[in-house]
Structure 1
Amino acid sequence: MKNNNSKPPKYLISTSEFGEYTGQTANDVANFFGEKELVRLSGSRLGIPSQLAKVYLALKEGVDYGFKVLAHINLKGGVGKTTSTISAATRAVQYGFRTCILDMDSQGSASLAFDMVPEDDDPIFFDVWQNPGEMVMGSLKKIQENLYILPSSLDNGLLDVNLINPVSQKNAVHGVCEELKANGFDLILIDCPPSLGTAVISTICAADIIVIPVCSDKFSFKGLKLTLNEIFSIHEAFNLEKPEIKILYTKFDRRLKISTNAWNRLSSDYKEYLIPCPIRTSAEFSKSLEKKQTVFASSKKSKAKADYDSYVRYALKLKGHQNDRKARDKG
């Protein structure tokens, strides 16, 4: 048994959760890996190190760990971009993805969520994009094994002055992501500011998957429309292949008519983009953030965990996501 005398990582998938995903019992999972390879978690649970989960899921379940850049973008603020980024990152690492968060928002909310706010002399994206080969890896902050973040500060707001050249806009984020790929990362998750600055333009050029979080209010829908238009315009201007575009409905509350109407509108007008796994409102998000962690640090089952697990499995094309919405509707 590992980590008997040290504090275990927060984000390890338990044998029981892993068993639910793979259709086994917790004992079957523990026996497969062997207890010496597992980590003792709270409540007498056993956790599976990220690298072991990756080996199993790649070989037994055919999970594709090919390099991906996924960005959460909406030109409207307050729609859940940061929550989606940090929740997806912590779940992805539990499924074996070597994951890095790029915090591109000068407000640094993702950095704050992990208590990784940079000191005055710590490099951020603004400092490293011109020389990624020498600077990127040394600038990352380690959250735990296989989970890192390039934090942000107000200085990233200067990118609008720093990235005037269109060629730089096209290549800045891409260059940093390529360096991370070369150093063994499987997944880059980007948290973007709610504005069409150069940070967002460069991210749009680099992303393989763009997820647009949307709430029920009309300003959110306006942001959705503007964001889609800008994605298409930027890819046309730079002659780039269009990314995979998805819409994630957040803060869903089936008790409210405005939520139901918004979901129906998305299902009708944006069916080709809509992820069929809405994120329901939950106090668990704010409770977790108070502890500088995400909902996936908790051993308790919750709708917050279930919804973002469904989202991660859908976005990363893991098995079982097709039935998640039906199962929740029954509940």
Structure 2
Amino acid sequence: MITIAIANQKGGVGKTTSAINIATAMAALGWKTLMVDLDPQGNASTGVGIDSAHRDYSSYDLLVEQADIENCIVPSSVPNLDVIPATVDLSGAEIELVGVDDRTGRLRDAMDGYNGHDICFIDCPPSLGLLTLNALTAADTLLVPLQCEFFALEGLSQLLQTVEQVQKRFNPDLGIIGIVLTMFDRRNRLTDQVADDVREVLGSLVFDSVIPRNVRLSEAPSHGMPALVYDHACSGSKAYMALARDLVNRLPETRKVA
């Protein structure tokens, strides 16, 4: 199973929207997909229609070793897409794990040896705390959503420094599979300028596919479904399908199933 953390310590960059819709797009391409919701807000879970009544076990139970991974997996309404949901209990996990040995490796240990899915996406909270460190330690690679705004590169540099520290101390094999530009608005000249600056600095690390500002992307979570299910023909859904195809092309050749 290929494990990809989706992270950016800055909030409001389309991280959870990207996690939901990339996972859905990969499932649509034929990949048996797992999404781990590691954000205490639980938006990735509700965004695919999983409410609190159906969360006997959660990612919190996985981290504190109260349940194994198979017991935490909940099927979503999207074919080929399963979820390990989040609950509010997760908000206390960082405090509970502070005094625990190998506290950054709990998720890695819980997922070690599991191969029931082809690919796994981990939706991280908007911070660089212990939950995100667990995701980066467990992941094979990192995908970074980056909003097209003036301070985008400033926040990205802090995340890349964290990645370097994780590589040195916890996960030497952690890579970065790419950076996806989100909330792209061609009517705004600043958006083009930021996109050009990011591509100039990071080159081929930036995906060709960009995610536009799109009302349907914002509406879909309130209906408990990914945008690709809510309106597969909208510009946002088409952009995420294109991104998923770009992502498949960056994965190891031996792992391609779509």
TM-score (norm 2): 0.88
CA gap 1:127/1:236 in 2 versus in 1, 3 angstroms: same
Say if 2:43 is the partner of 1:109: yes
Cα displacement (A) at 1:142: 1.1
Aligned to 1:89: 23
Q: Distance in 1 between matches of 2:221 and 2:231?
A: 16
Cα displacement (A) at 1:130: 4.5
Cα displacement (A) at 1:228: 0.7
Is the contact made by 1:210 and 1:243 (CA closer than 8 Å) also made in structure 2?
yes
Cα displacement (A) at 1:208: 1.5
Aligned to 2:73: 140
Letter in 1 for 2:68: M
CA gap 1:193/1:295 in 2 versus in 1, 3 angstroms: same
CA gap 1:253/1:173 in 2 versus in 1, 3 angstroms: same
Greater relative contact order structure (CA < 8 Å, 6+ sep):
2
Which of residues 168, 174, 177 is equivalent to 2:108?
Answer: 174
Letter in 1 for 2:103: S
Which of residues 35, 46, 57 is equivalent to 1:123?
Answer: 57
CA gap 1:257/1:72 in 2 versus in 1, 3 angstroms: same
Say if 2:94 is the partner of 1:185: no
Q: How many pairs were matched up?
A: 249
Q: Distance in 2 between matches of 1:122 and 1:219?
A: 40
Q: Distance in 2 between matches of 1:242 and 1:186?
A: 18
Q: Distance in 2 between matches of 1:127 and 1:116?
A: 17
Q: Distance in 2 between matches of 1:119 and 1:179?
A: 29
Q: Distance in 2 between matches of 1:203 and 1:138?
A: 19
Aligned to 2:215: 283
Aligned to 2:254: none
Which of residues 169, 186, 194 is equivalent to 1:262?
Answer: 194
Tell me the SS of whatever aligns to 2:92. helix
| Unaligned 5+ runs, structure 2 | 252-258
Q: Distance in 2 between matches of 1:223 and 1:166?
A: 30
Aligned to 1:79: 13
TM-score (norm 1): 0.70
Which of residues 85, 96, 104 is equivalent to 1:162?
Answer: 96
The CA RMSD measured in Å over matched residues stands at: 2.2
| Unaligned 5+ runs, structure 1 | 1-66, 320-331
The percentage of counterpart residues that share the same residue type is: 24
Larger Rg: 1
